[in-house]
Amino acid sequence: MIIAVDGPAASGKGTLAKRLATHYGLAYLDTGRTYRAVALALMEDGVALDDGEAAVRAAGAIDLGALEAPALATAEVGEGASQVAVLPELRTVLVARQQGFAREAARAGRGAVLDGRDIGTVVLPDASVKLFITAEVEERARRRALELTGSEAGPAYERLLAALRSRDARDCGRASSPLRPAADAHILDTTHLDADAAFWLATRVVDEALAA
């Protein structure tokens, strides 16, 4: 079983995808962190984020089993990831690596959950189940501000709201693999759902797909 989980930044797709992987005993890959790893590598080397050749080299050196470094979770690296993600040559390399991760998991008889922004449309169009997780941008900014600062209002919220709107526009408007739900994706709006409710709805979708 291969589960594709897509959605915009701060929609809760990562938390949900990890829980699904644990629940069903599947391998897990946060594909957004592959782009973050490339951005971090370029930033540490002082290389421009629009340097396609350097980005491709960095992509080839990524260890897909070591993407939990705290440095990858910073807002600065997240913004950098959004910038390198528009490079078509980089996307080609990383998509191939992400597909390879899913193939290896399938060969091992385990299956996998991958989350990102183009899993159901580009990376794994034949996934067993496709979920598209979304939420209103104001709610996403509130959640992120609460997570990062402990407060859901104020200057931090305003900065995050502006950053998310900018990132949404870039992700949805890029020429290569724009953010959009697959035609056969199940769309889950988590604006008014907590993590447990979103997980319960997602497992219903997966279980129904398995029973079909």
* Helix-helix angle 31-45:75-84, to 10 degrees: 100
Tell me the C-alpha distance between 29 and 119, whole Å.
11
- pLDDT of residue 209 exceeding 90, the answer is no
Residue 39's pLDDT is 97
Cβ-based neighbours of 19, under 8 Å, separated by 6 or more: 195, 199
Q: How far is CA 104 from the centre of its chain?
A: 20
Q: Which residue type occupies 186?
A: H
At 10-63, the pLDDT tens digits run 899 999 999 999 999 999 999 999 999 999 999 999 999 999 999 999 999 999
Helix and strand tally (H, E) in the chain? 8, 5
Domains and CATH numbers, the chain: 2-206 (3.40.50.300)
Helix (H) or strand (E) holding 186: strand 186-189
- pLDDT of residue 95 exceeding 90, the answer is yes
Residue 153's pLDDT is 82
Residue 9's pLDDT is 86
At 142-190, the pLDDT tens digits run 998 888 888 888 888 999 999 899 888 888 887 777 889 999 999 999 9
Least confidently predicted of 30-44, 65-79, 130-144: 65-79
